[in-house]
């Protein structure tokens, strides 16, 4: 067991617990306190909990709720949190059958509530410890490491061609074959003795209408690198490019992408478009763009499923080739019944729709072993497989994979 203190947690968490059982409230408060989280509020009914959250929606970054309560039950409580646009995570405190998990996940997504998982009764310390790990992971994935970068600094990096691609391979979980390379980004430092800026300045680019400039510069550079990667490993390799929903809302997006690929001797068939779940993909312009991308010959992937709000019904209607299961669901999946049930349902859907299923953020051999035993057709990506690499480092890595495969 990990011993947490508020000092060694990456974030300071504030917790609200809603349950009509005084014993459960006492036990959960004590467990959180033991694990280093002191700011815990308890409520014995959902009405009073909602009233407190309504006054200060950002006060709590996680809410735990029972499902079966008199008055406002847990499902209604989640709906009300969605109407309030509560931005934190929600955890259900209940033993959950697969059907209840599916229903709870559906209700949460319909109301744009982030359902992190469940804690079974009776409450045990390791359930809550795992919850803290998932919460820390969620905060880490949503953190913007370049939040202080100004529009001027980012525009300067783009105009001086200091935005460089990094590549993270995605491979088959059973045979190890690499099928695509996700294009990520970093900024080359202006001065040689300064630290490289980290990846993930999407918010700054989006807020200042620089996303297309950033994306097109990355595509141009990655297009030049792809021939070297294919020579080292195989002509089947694709580039995976991330598009933000605001880019998908631009109806000219497919034409712009096709033009820049043509100028760089690539075709849509060479590209996998990864669509993020930062907002629901139900806008009419977004849906039209998605259809046009598919008609152009691009492959389409829904990225980071589990961190956004796409519903299962929409997964069936979107013209997808792949679903990428996000790190909040993959982290410690070997002991997370909630995540296991969600991934099993996604696997059934992927099999029915003939889609690829990919687990991202893979970071432990326990996660890999669990997935490999149950989903031998899955694809995987993450630091356990390979961290994002520069062109030069990736060429070395690909050549190593080729050598290992031939031995």
Query: Mind listing the pLDDT tens digit for each residue in 177-204?
Result: 999 999 998 877 665 444 444 445 667 7
The CATH number of the domain holding residue 37 is: 3.40.50.2300
Task: Give the tens place of pLDDT for each residue, 23-64.
Answer: 999 999 999 999 889 999 999 999 999 999 999 999 999 999
pLDDT value at residue 220: 93
The pair of structure tokens assigned to 217 is 């510069």
Q: In what order do the strands lie in the sheet with 40-43?
A: 40-43, 15-18, 62-65, 89-93, 114-119
Residue 223 · residue 261 · CB < 8 Å: yes
**What total number of domains does the chain contain?**
2
Q: Is residue 44 part of a domain?
A: yes
Do residue 286 and residue 169 come from a single domain?
yes
**CB contact at 8 A, 24 and 121:** yes
Query: What's the CA gap between 181 and 117, in Å, rounded?
Result: 30
In this structure, the answer to whether residues 106 and 181 fall within a common structural domain is: no
Same domain flag for 65 and 160: no
Distances in whole angstroms, Cα of residue 89 to Cα of each of 28, 121, 307, 337, 349: 17, 19, 10, 17, 25
Q: Which of 124-138, 190-204, 301-315 shows the lowest mean pLDDT across its residues?
A: 190-204
Whether residue 365 lies inside any domain: the answer is yes
Q: Do 163 and 304 reside in the same domain of the chain? A: yes
Q: Which two tokens stand for residue 299?
A: 């492959």
Residue 7 falls inside a structural domain? no
Alpha helix (H) residue ranges in 171-283:
202-207, 211-233, 245-248, 253-263
Q: Are residues 164 and 100 in the same domain?
A: no
71 vs 148, more confident: 71
Among 142, 161, 196, give the residue marking a domain's end. 142
Looking from the CA of 44 toward its CB, the CA atoms found within 13 Å total 5
Closest by Cα among 111, 121, 113 to 67: 121
One domain, residues 72 and 164? no
Q: What is the pTM of this model?
A: 0.83
Residue 1 lies in a domain: no
The three-point CA angle 262-256-297 to 5° equals 65
Alpha carbon distance, N-terminus to C-terminus of the chain? 40
Are 241 and 275 in contact by the 8 Å Cβ rule? The answer is no
Q: Which residue has the tokens 């013209």?
A: 319
Return d(Cα 252, Cα 259) in angstroms, integer: 11
**How high is the pLDDT of residue 311?**
72
Choosing from 121, 142, 163, the residue where a domain stops is: 142
Check: CB of residue 398 under 8 Å from CB of residue 230: no
- Residues 238 and 342 placed together within one structural domain of the fold: yes
- How many residues appear in the chain? 407
Helix, coil or strand: residue 31: helix
Q: Are 156 and 130 found together in one domain?
A: no
* Residue 10 within any structural domain of the chain: no
Task: Show which of 142, 163, 198 is a domain's final residue.
Answer: 142
| Residue 318, in any domain of the structure | yes
| pLDDT of 5 strictly over 60 | no
- Three-class secondary structure of residue 198 per DSSP: coil
Domain presence at residue 5: no
| Residue 3 counted as domain residue | no
| Spatial separation of the C-alpha atoms in residues 137 and 70, rounded to whole Å | 33
Nearest-5° Cα angle at 61, 56 to 64: 100
Assess whether 313 and 197 both reside in one domain: yes
Does one domain contain both 245 and 112?
Answer: no
Full domain range(s) for residue 88: 15-142
- Nearest to 278, CA basis, from 232, 245, 230: 245
Distance of alpha carbon 252 from the chain centroid: 26
What's the pLDDT at 377?
97
Say yes or no: 304 and 383 in one domain. yes
State whether 367 and 263 are in the same domain. yes
Contact of 251 with 285, CB cutoff 8 Å: yes
Please state, in angstroms and rounded to a whole number, the distance separating the CA atoms of residues 217 and 154.
13
Please, are residues 198 and 213 in contact by the beta-carbon 8 Å criterion? no
Average pLDDT in the chain: 87
Domain at 263, CATH number: 3.20.20.450
């Amino acid at each position: 067991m990990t011993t947490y203190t508020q000092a060694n947690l990456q974030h300071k968490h504030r917790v609200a617990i809603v349950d009509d059982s005084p014993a459960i409230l006492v036990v959960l408060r004590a467990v959180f306190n033991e694990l280093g989280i002191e700011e815990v509020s308890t409520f014995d009914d959902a009405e009073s909990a909602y009233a407190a959250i309504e006054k200060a929606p950002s006060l709590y970054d996680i809410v735990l709720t029972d499902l079966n309560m008199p008055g406002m039950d847990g499902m209604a409580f989640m709906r009300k949190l969605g109407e309030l646009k509560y931005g934190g995570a929600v955890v259900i405190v209940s033993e959950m059958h697969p059907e209840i998990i599916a229903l709870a996940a559906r209700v949460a997504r319909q109301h744009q509530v982030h359902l992190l998982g469940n804690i079974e009764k009776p409450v045990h310390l390791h359930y809550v410890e795992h919850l803290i790990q998932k919460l820390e992971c969620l905060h880490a994935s949503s953190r913007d490491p370049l939040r202080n970068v100004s529009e001027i600094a980012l525009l300067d990096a783009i105009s001086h061609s200091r935005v460089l691609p990094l590549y993270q391979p995605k491979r088959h979980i059973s045979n190890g074959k690499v099928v695509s390379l996700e294009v990520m980004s970093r900024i080359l430092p202006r001065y040689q003795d300064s630290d490289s800026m980290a990846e993930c300045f999407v918010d700054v680019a989006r807020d200042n209408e620089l996303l297309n400039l950033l994306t097109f510069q990355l595509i141009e550079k990655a297009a030049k690198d792809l021939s070297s990667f294919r020579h080292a490993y195989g002509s089947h390799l694709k580039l995976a490019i991330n598009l933000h929903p605001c880019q998908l809302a631009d109806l000219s997006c497919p034409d712009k992408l096709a033009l820049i690929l043509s100028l760089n001797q690539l075709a849509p068939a060479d590209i996998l478009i990864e669509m993020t779940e930062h907002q629901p993909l139900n806008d009419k312009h977004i849906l039209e763009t998605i259809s046009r991308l598919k008609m152009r010959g691009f492959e389409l992937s829904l990225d980071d499923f589990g961190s956004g709000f796409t519903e299962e019904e929409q997964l069936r209607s979107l013209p997808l080739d792949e679903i990428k299961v996000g790190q909040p669901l993959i982290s410690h999946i070997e002991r997370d019944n909630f995540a296991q049930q969600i991934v099993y349902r996604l696997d059934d859907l992927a099999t029915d729709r003939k889609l690829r299923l990919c687990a991202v953020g893979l970071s432990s051999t326990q996660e890999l072993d669990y997935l490999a035993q149950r989903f031998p057709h899955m694809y995987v990506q993450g630091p356990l497989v390979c961290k994002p690499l520069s062109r030069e480092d990736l060429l070395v890595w690909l050549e190593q994979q080729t050598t290992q495969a031939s031995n």
